[in-house]
A and B are shown apart, each in its own frame.
Chain A
Amino acid sequence: MTTTLPARSPATATGPTQSGRPARNSGATTTARWALSRVVGAAFVLWSVATIAFFALRLVPGDPVDALLGGPGNNATEEVRQQTRELYGLDQPVLVQYAAFLAGLLRGDLGQSYQLRQPVAQVLGEQVGNTLLLAALALALAWALALGLALWSTRPGRTAAVVASVLEIVSAAVPHFWLGTILILVFSVNLQLLPATSGAPGVEGLILPVVTLAVPLAGFLGQSMRESMLTAMHSPFALSARARGEAETGVSLRHALRHAALPGINLSGWAFGSLISGAVVVETVFARPGLGRTLLEAVTVRDVPVVLGVVLLIAAVYVVVTLLSDLAERLADPRLRDA
């Protein structure tokens, strides 16, 4: 996975020397073989995540039967307890339960929520859309903010760069829960422009949560996008573009922008993770239904199947996003293809 830059940098460093010689394999075959190995790797990661999550959550203290029967203070008879145990397969050996769990996963069956008495898959299915919408909008906004800032700050002169860098560092340091609270205070309580809770349908309810989620991410993305863009603006190809008489705007838009986008693509998997983590907080602050809040509630009452389900779902999406972002990076950066 290429969420961090060092893993990528050797390839980048050797890229230019290799790209000069004619490629022995056609690019398509290399990419296909690379993609295949990545898919196998991703499958391995998912299986490991499922296994770790399954066994880790068995360490949760307390008898799951108690949780199923309404908490430790229940007055269930031993007979009822035994029936519950059999119903949920809890009387089986661990390995049998593990096998059943894996088999269930393949069928898309994530078990039954202790708390909500619903299949976990159904609970998640109801919530995942809300969170993905929130995360996707926030990602788009963060990209726009970060790229805009990067483009603006590479203008000649030191002031722009300093302002941009201060903006990025401060926004990366802002905790979601505080930003969200302050935004509610300003825009809902004082100005009464936007709703504080986003339970209601409509676009207005989405604005504050999306901004809250996007700003810290934009700060992070902006830092590496700007650095990458600056390097590009000082590189020989930018110089030769200028020598051809291209305007500074043209150089930054046509040549450097692609470089600024690279770390953004490279970090998509990471960004997704941070958005989902942020969603836990943002959905709580704005009382917005979604995966994050479902997860938080499940953690608080130790609803193990739901925690397990959310963890697996997020890990799966994360792995897919990382895979896609690596592929997109190869498409955007020809130097990586021969490496």
Chain B
Amino acid sequence: MTQTFPVTEASAPVTSPTPHPPRGPRRRRFGPAVAIPATVVTVLAVAAIAPALLAPGDPLAMEPANAFAAPSLQHWFGTDESGRDVFTRVIHGSRDSLSIGLLATVIGVGLGLLLGAMAGWGSRAVDFGVNRVLEVLFAFPNLLLALLVITILGPGVVTTTLAVGLSTAPGYARMIRSQVRAVKQSGYVEASIVQGRSRWFIIRRHVLPNVAAPLFILATLGVGQAIVWASSLSFLGLGATPPAPEWGAMLSAGRGYMSIAWWITLFPGLFIVLSATATTVLGHSLQQKLKEMS
């Protein structure tokens, strides 16, 4: 979760000039690799913001007589042990699942930006200090840091969000640090310093724009992982708790009825995979675009 490493290559300098022109026909501005995931993300965002548009029913409405109904035209994803409509619950669940993932990413990026900028722009001593802090944070792999935070603060949605955010921060910090370093040592920053520009001007004019794009992409890729980890914590019973329609919690509750009603576990999981895949593909495509532009 923390080090979504595939992304970091965006910040790495292109090591060798490409001998061949890009394969295949000339690329369109935004191919299907952007359009499809962008559509999925938009639909999921609509589901999160206005779930009633897609599923007008009540996600908590029980209908015990109709429990364990298999998927049908009336109940697309079937019903669960209390006769609640799984489709309605999955759609309404996107609010919790997505907002936890998104908020956790915001926390991680914010903290990462702070640490990374300090290390990248600060003096050697600051850089050394922040690097040691990051090294120590990295020694609490992924879920471990999150579990430590939960042990201290107790389980719950807020804690889960904070925990996932904290555990992703070191990865962002490291990437931002190297990006800021690279910009700081570039010719145009040197020129700006010679021109007597203020430090703030340089940060605003040169550092931020250069860090923003890769950071945005890294965050896009990170959201998917944050969603997966947050739902994992809910699955373990440490995050959102039933009857809240959160995907991980739904799956955990449905597991007990797996042999008679597979749909209760299948669909929430599919939505986790769908949202994580969509954000990852989107991130990768944007990363590719950025590479082509530079």
Contact = CB atoms under 8 A, between A and B. Distances in A.
Co-assembled chains A and B: yes
Interface of A: 1, 3-7, 9, 12-13, 41, 44-46, 48-49, 52-53, 56-57, 59-61, 158, 169-170, 172-178, 181-182, 184-185, 189, 220, 223-224, 227, 231, 234-235, 263, 267, 270, 272-274, 276-277, 280-281, 284, 295-296, 298-300, 302, 304, 307, 311, 314-315, 318-319
Contact of A224 (B6, B139, B178): B6
Given A6-B8, A178-B265, 16 more contacts: A3-B138, A5-B9, A6-B175, A9-B15, A46-B139, A49-B139, A52-B136, A173-B276, A175-B269, A178-B272, A182-B266, A184-B258, A185-B262, A273-B142, A281-B143, A315-B139
Max chain B CB contacts within 10 Å: which of A56, A270, A274, A284? A270
A248 to B, nearest CB: 16
Contacts of B237: 300
B136 A13 contact: no
A318 B139 CA distance: 6
Interface stretch (B44-52, B82-90, B147-155): B147-155
B162 interface: no
A307 B147 contact: yes
9 contacts: A3-B5, A6-B179, A44-B132, A158-B23, A175-B276, A182-B269, A231-B16, A276-B143, A307-B148
B24 interface: yes
A300 B151 CA distance: 7
A315 to B, nearest CB: 4
A224 B140 contact: no
A227 B155 CA distance: 39
A302 B175 contact: no
A11 to B, nearest CB: 11
B213 to A, nearest CB: 15
What is the interface of chain A mostly: helix, strand, loop, or mixed? helix
Nearest to A178: B269
Contact of A220 (B5, B11, B255): B5
Q: Which 9 A-B pairs have the closest CB atoms?
A: A273-B141, A178-B269, A277-B143, A173-B276, A6-B178, A277-B142, A9-B12, A173-B277, A48-B136
A277 B16 CA distance: 36
Contacts of B18: 234
